Amino acid sequence: MLVEASVQENIKLINIFGEIGLENHSEFSESMLRSIQGDESIILVNMENVTYMNSMSLGIIVKSYSEAKKQNKELALCSLQENIKKLFVITKLDRIIKIYQNREEAIEFLKIRM
Amino acid sequence: MTSKMNKNEKICLIQENRQLQQKLNKISSQNMDILSIANFLDKLLGTKDLEKITYMIIEHMNELFEGKAARFIRKEPKKDTYACYQMKNGNIKKTLLHRNHLGKDFFFMYCNRFYICNSNKDTSFIAIPIKYEGENIGLITIKEFNNEKLENKNTKLMEVYSLILGVVIKNCLLIGQRQIEKKIILEQNRKISEDLKYAKKTQEYLLPKGRHDFGKYNIYCNHIQIQCLGGDLYDVVKYNDNKIIFYIADISGHGISASLLTLFLKQSVIGISKSFNDDLISPSEILEKLYKRFNDFMVDTELYIGILIGVLDIKKDKVTIANGGHNVEPIHIKTNERQVISYNIEGLPINSWFKELKFTYQDKSIFLNKDDKLIFLTDGATEVMLNENEILGTQRIEKVFYQNMNLNCDKQFDEMMKYINSYSEEASIKDDIAFVCLNRIN
């Protein structure tokens, strides 16, 4: 698992790679909370390259979302694999955290909100 | 005149020669000392045992100054403890002292430089404090030493000794401290492992395997535990003669916190079910009350419960289900219609994420015909990795159930596990698997 942060058009882009499971749960939590820090008010988490995510990681995403909210920031997700998207739908989290089809669509929408 | 000059010159030359000889002797002696330090250091560096090193130091220092007695006090790896080595007539005796019992004899340990007292031969001593970056590591005292041995010594050498011995002993102390810490950690780990064994046994008691019979229905439960302490839980509670409450849950996380939450969940569901009036019990209301209870004490946002809870109405052959964020759909085997379907029931997990959020849980009714089965699983079964990018998924499991739809629940479980294990070479089961199967037998 790898978490990589960059800035694109004033949006903090967090790219996650690999599997998120029990073995890297703490690392993922720390990386996410560190990555949402910064001046950018919009954070986009690109999950295109996440092949597996356990239910525990859902809590970390929500924690990061809540942390971003506390800092008056907006956190959105994009490019979720079907099995991961299902996890957000079944838990109704897709109605709380904004999920975009892909990065391009996300950036287009989020730019307007800036 | 020339002869007289020559004589004077000769005298001068002799004197100069004598002085040079003396200087040479001193340099030679100092060189010997340096060689002696180098040899001594070589021996010290080849030894890692603190006890051996201490013996080597006290013997070497006593030999160096030809003392009648020597004493070396140094820190022990154990906090606030000192070891005192007394050397007399070639024998060394060791005693352990607490820091508070050091007394005035060890005053020189706190001095910054070495101290020589040679006014009286019987009471003469050399005190060399051993330090490491300002820390008082120890003190070497040589009593009734040979004063001649001191004459040609470069006093800077004493400081060199103090510095080198400080580094050597500090290294040994650090190694010793690590060993003590390692021992403590290993002991703690052993105790935790023992505790975990009991906790695991307790958790197994919470997850009884086997069949419960309720008239024309039976409910079969089984589980595979991958983690020492998992977060999967199921339970079957008889509400009254007509209604049975059952649920399957997955607590995010593993270990002690998740394990304790399983206890909370089990007790809460039993407690909440008692708060309803007779036949008016609904799973969605159980979840709402559970959500409230959870939020009364839980503040950690990473811990949450995904739970699928159902109430079986035996008379009406109806199962009412509500989902609190459980991520595997219930699977309905309609045996007589030769059909296997799954139900997408959505619902927020039992969590403490959004304090202000207003929401309700929804009930979903499913009617069961004779020989129908309703199966509930945890994601350990569906999230088996087939390869780097693909998980097993619910659909493949549904196919297994379809192929074995006439089998009883226990056999369905066995077939499912056989199927999952058939991928064992490439796949890996990452999580615990829990299985609850409700079967209408007539």
DSSP string across B208-252: --EEEEETTEEEEEEEE--SSS--EEEEEEE-SSSEEEEEEEEES
Residue B388 has pLDDT above 90, yes or no: no
pLDDT at B428: 65
Q: CB distance from B378 to chain A under 8 Å?
A: no
pLDDT for residue B5: 65
Per-residue pLDDT for B222 more than 70? yes
Q: How high is the pLDDT of residue B259?
A: 82
The reported pLDDT for the residue numbered B154 is 61
Give yes or no for residue B425 having a pLDDT over 70.
no
Cross-chain Cβ contact B325/A21 below 8 Å? no
DSSP, collapsed to helix, strand or coil, labels residue B403 as helix
Handedness of CA B413, B418, B420, B421 (dihedral sign): positive
* pLDDT tens readout for residues A72-97: 999 999 999 988 998 999 999 999 99
pLDDT at B1: 47
How large is the average pLDDT for residues B347-353? 92
Span B164-179, pLDDT tens digits: 889 999 999 999 899 9
* pLDDT reading at B254 higher than 80: no
The verdict on a CB contact (< 8 Å) between B379 and A55 is yes
**pLDDT value for A76:** 96
Mean local confidence (pLDDT), B47-62: 88
Check residue B199 and give its pLDDT. 82
Distance CA B29, CA B23 (A): 10
pLDDT digits (tens, 9 = 90+) for A10-53: 899 999 998 888 788 889 999 999 998 988 999 999 999 998 88
Residue B311's pLDDT band (cuts 50, 70, 90): very high
- In the prediction, which pLDDT does B188 show? 94
- At residue B189, the pLDDT reads 93
Of A40-44, A86-90, B97-101, B396-400, the range with the lowest mean pLDDT is B97-101
pTM across the whole model? 0.72
The pLDDT assigned to B109 comes to 85
The yes/no answer to whether this complex scores an ipTM above 0.90 is no
> pLDDT tier at B83 (50, 70, 90 boundaries)?
very high
Question: How many Cα atoms sit within 13 Å of B439 on the Cβ side?
Answer: 22
Please name the residues in contact with B60: beta carbons below 8 A apart, sequence gap of 6 or more.
B40
Task: Record the tokens describing residue B370, joined without a space.
Answer: 């004779």
Please tell me the distance in Å from B373's CA to the nearest CA on chain A: 22
Q: Chain B partners of A91 at a C-beta cutoff of 8 Å?
A: 306, 325, 327, 346-349
In this prediction, residue B115 has a pLDDT band, given cuts at 50, 70 and 90, of confident
pLDDT at B233: 93
Structure tokens at B420: 């999952």
For chains A and B, count residue pairs whose Cβ atoms are closer than 8 Å: 76
In a mutagenesis test of the A interface, which of B251, B323, B348 is the best target, namely the one with the most A β-carbons within 10 Å?
B348
- Which is nearest to B420 in space by CA: B203, B222, B206, B207? B222
Number of neighbours of residue B107 by Cβ within 10 angstroms: 13
d(CA A45, nearest CA chain B) in Å:
18
pLDDT at B4: 58
Per-residue pLDDT tens over the stretch A44-72? 999 999 988 888 889 899 999 999 999 99
pLDDT value at residue B256? 80
* pLDDT confidence bin for B147, thresholds 50/70/90: confident
- In chain B, % of residues over pLDDT 90: 47
**Which of A23, A90, A95 should be substituted to probe chain B, the one whose Cβ sees the most B Cβ atoms within 10 Å?**
A90
Which residues in chain A have Cβ-Cβ distances shorter than 8 Å to B393?
Answer: 83
Å between B233 CA and nearest CA of chain A: 15
Interface test with B, best of A26, A29, A55 (most B CBs within 10 A): A55
Q: Output the average pLDDT for chain B.
A: 88
**A96 Cβ under 8 Å from any chain B Cβ:** yes
Residue of B nearest to A55 (CA): B252
Q: Provide the pLDDT confidence category of residue B207 given band limits of 50, 70 and 90.
A: confident
In the predicted structure, residue B184 carries a pLDDT above the cut 80: yes
Whole-angstrom distance, CA of residue A61 vs CA of residue A63: 5
Closest CA to A32 of A4, A69, A74: A4
Contact B420, B381 (CB under 8 A): yes
What's the average model confidence in pLDDT over B69-84?
90
Lowest mean pLDDT segment, chosen from B43-47, B248-252, B431-435: B43-47
Task: Give A82's DSSP letter.
Answer: H
